[in-house]
Amino acid sequence: MRSKVMHYLSKLFSSNRKYSFCDELTGLGNIKYFHESLALHASSNKDADKLSVILINIDGFKDINNCYGYSAGNEILLEISKRIQSAINYCIHESIDEFISYNLCRVSGDEFSIAINGYDKSSFITSVMRKVSSGFKEPVATKSETLVISASIGAAEYSTQAQSKQELIKFSDMAMCNAKSSGSNQYRWFSREMETESIEKSVMISKIKKAIQENEFSLSYQPKVNCKEGGTELKEAEALIRWKTKSGEQISPAEFIPFAEKNGLSNDIGKWVFEQLCKDIKGLEDNNISNIKFSFNVSPNQLKDEVFRLFIEKMILKYKVNPNKLQMEITEHCIAEDISKTKETLLKIKKLGIEISLDDFGTEYSSLQFLSELPIDIIKIDRIFVSGCHENRKRGAIINAIVALANGLGMQSVAEGVESIQEAKFIIKSGCTQIQGFYYHKPMPLKEFVTATQ
How far is Cα 243 from Cα 398, in angstroms, rounded to an integer? Answer: 35
% of the chain at pLDDT higher than 90: 46
Mean per-residue pLDDT for 157-173? 85
| The one-letter amino acid at 77 | L
Q: Can you give the residue ranges of every domain in the chain? A: 2-190, 201-453
Max mean pLDDT among 169-183, 223-237, 341-355 falls in 341-355
Cα distance between residue 347 and residue 354, in whole Å:
10
Q: What is the pLDDT of residues 189-217, one digit of tens each?
A: 988 888 777 778 888 888 999 999 998 99
Closest Cα partner for 148 from 71, 69, 76? Answer: 76
Query: Parallel, antiparallel, or unpaired for β 355-361 and 326-331?
Result: parallel
Identify the CATH homologous superfamily for domain 2-190: Reverse transcriptase/Diguanylate cyclase domain (3.30.70.270)
Which 3 state secondary structure label does DSSP give 240? strand
Mean per-residue pLDDT over the chain, rounded? 86
Pair 190, 174: CB distance under 8 Å: yes
Strand, helix or coil for residue 121: coil
Coil, strand, or helix at residue 137? coil
pLDDT at 45: 47
Residue 406 has pLDDT above 90, yes or no: yes
Using the predicted structure, report yes or no on whether residue 367 has a pLDDT greater than 80.
Answer: no
- Determine what percent of the chain is predicted with pLDDT higher than 70: 91
Fold: same for 2-190 and 201-453: no
Q: Give residue 302's identity as a one-letter amino acid code.
A: Q
Q: In which element (H, E) is residue 230 found?
A: none
**Distance, first Cα to last Cα, the chain:** 84
The mean pLDDT value for 105-111 works out to 91
Nearest Cα to Cα of residue 267 among 277, 278, 257: 257
- With a cut of 70, say whether residue 364 has pLDDT above it: no
Helix residue spans in 188-338 (DSSP H) = 192-213, 253-262, 266-286, 300-304, 306-318, 332-336
* Model pTM score: 0.68
Q: List CB contacts of 62: < 8 A, sequence separation 6 or more.
A: 110
Rg (C-alpha) for the chain, rounded Å, is 28
- Going by pLDDT thresholds of 50, 70 and 90, the confidence category of residue 408 is very high
Q: What is the CATH code for 201-453?
A: 3.20.20.450
Report the distance separating Cα 404 and Cα 401, nearest Å.
5
Please check the confidence at residue 432 and state whether its pLDDT lies above 50: yes
- The crossing angle, in degrees rounded to 10, of helices 266-286 and 306-318 is 20
CB 106 within 8 A of CB 30: yes
pLDDT per position as a tens digit, 51-81: 899 999 998 888 787 778 888 889 999 999 9
> What is d(CA 353, CA 348) in angstroms, rounded to the nearest whole number?
9
DSSP string, 410-447: T-EEEEE---SHHHHHHHHHHT-SEEESTTT---B-HH
The answer to whether residues 253 and 242 touch, using CB atoms and an 8 Å cutoff, is yes
180 Ramachandran zone, left/alpha/beta (phi>0; psi -120 to 50): alpha
Residues 341-370, mean pLDDT to the nearest whole number? 83
Adjacent-strand bridge partners of 108? 111
Q: Is 28 helix (H, G, I), strand (E, B) or coil?
A: coil
Amino acid at 331: T
* pLDDT score, position 265: 87
Residue type, 148: V
Provide the residue type at 143 as one letter. K
Greater confidence, 454 or 384?
A: 384
Q: What is the pLDDT of residues 218-242, one digit of tens each?
A: 999 999 998 876 556 778 999 999 9
Q: What is the mean pLDDT of residues 20-48?
A: 79
Residue 16 pLDDT:
46
Question: Using CA atoms, how far apart are residues 446 and 429, in angstroms rounded to an integer?
Answer: 30
Give the C-alpha separation, 440 to 419, whole Å: 8
Q: What are the start-end ranges of the E strands in 89-233?
A: 101-108, 111-117, 140-141, 146-147, 151-157, 187-189, 217-226
50 CB neighbour count, 10 Å cutoff: 22
Average pLDDT over residues 274-286: 93
